[in-house]
Amino acid sequence: MTEIIKFSVDDVRFPTSKDLTGSDAVHTDPDYSATYVTVVTSDKNLKGYGIAFTIGKGNDIVADCIKHFFPMFEGMKIEELENNIGNLWYKCVDHSQLRWLGPEKGVVHMAVAAIFNSLWDLIAKKHNKPLWRFIVDSEPETIMKWLTFKNIEDALSRDEAYAILSESQKHKDERIKRILKEGYPSYTTAAGWLGYSDEKIVKLCKKYTAMGWKHFKVKVGLDLEADVKRLKLIRETVGDDSFIMVDANQQWGVEQSIKHINAYKKFNLLFVEEPTSPDDVLGFVKIKKAIGNINLATGEACGGRIMFKQFLESGAMNICQIDSCRLGSINEILTVLLMAHKFKVPVFPHAGGVGLCEYVQHLCMIDYILINGEKDNKFVEYSDQLHEHFIYPCSIKDGNYMPPKDNGYSIEMKQNSVNEFLFPHGEYWRKN
């Protein structure tokens, strides 16, 4: 039987702050980074890869935390891992000492995500399937063993979750055929970074419109007058038939959020993302009451399922934005997808960064096929950067994510990219 021999973790950082790619109201100079985990097995042809995404400083802290979990899995047979992955996940999340640094949020939770992202990659490869296909091909009884309902069962019971998973089986084959043919709709952030010039914004809007995109996200939050000017420019460039959403990246207080959002109404926004603190459920409720029919989106910075429970139950969230690395990998993501479905809140996964697009393409396929059954008028974020560093980059056709066909979770990086951008001793960082 194949067993896990060892793990390694690399601190890989890309200097995106040089051209302000990824810049927003709070993160003004991000260096998109990945804590990159490799799982080595006794089968030389079978390895697992996983990441947690950060934006530079602090990537080393996540990497150091990840190392604390390695001994729990070294020497474990893959069959044992697969059969017990639900219990193992919660054993990590609820570690009697490490949990104090969360609990179930922050650096420790991101470390758990990176570890389990690599383990799910390994399991999918063992079955010779892309991760999304492995998940949707699994029986409801099996999936239920992966999940924890602790602290959310008052919002989503085990029976309710099982009923959703069982109901989806009826039309699963039809949905698989449809997704393979059509893909899953996306929106682009590539033209809307806060640090970009007007000329660059216009050029990129025209570029992505020509490539098939009709949904554009724009970063806002530092200056109301400048934001309005930028939104006017983008609306004039993309036309009235396209959709605009804005992202303030947690910049405002509640009253300021209301003021700014009301000033944006004339641009017919699809949603406003993270206007205030991502932990302020009651603040989101107040904002929602004051802005009328404009949708509020949040979730990329929610550390776990318990925060999502509060946002969904209270009606504070109109758009649910899961993240593949802040939530504790597939185990927790599935419970959030199930909750969002119960509360009839559409899921627009957060992407961009390093490898997040590669990850979320699997998540949207799972949501559509296994849980929600709808993909029209739902969109996944897409940012056109850093894909060249991955062996199996995501594929976009006419503005749609096409389902991955390669085995695993699509996150293995090219070794020359790791060598060049390894921090601090990689070729790039030695020279700069």
Question: Which residue in the list 109, 341, 350, 389 is annotated as catalytic?
Answer: 350
Label each residue of 276-308 as H, E or C.
CCCCCHHHHHHHHHHHCCCEEEECCCCCCHHHH
Concatenated DSSP letters for 154-202?
TTS-HHHHHHHHHHHGGGHHHHHHHHHHH-EEEEE-TT--TT--HHHHH
Please confirm, yes or no, whether 219 is among the known catalytic residues: yes
Task: Identify the sign of the CA torsion 259, 264, 291, 219.
Answer: negative
- CA 268 to CA 275: how far, in whole Å? 17
Give me Rg for the CA atoms of the chain: 21
* Three-class secondary structure of residue 111 per DSSP: helix
Q: How many CB atoms lie within 10 A of CB 118?
A: 27
Question: Which residue in the list 219, 260, 288, 389 is annotated as catalytic?
Answer: 219
50 neighbors 63 (Cβ within 8 angstroms): no
- CA 22 to CA 26: how far, in whole Å? 11
Please confirm, yes or no, whether 214 is among the known catalytic residues: no
Identify the bridge partners of residue 298 per DSSP, sorted by sequence position: 320
- CA 359 to CA 356: how far, in whole Å? 5
Which residues are identified as catalytic?
219, 350
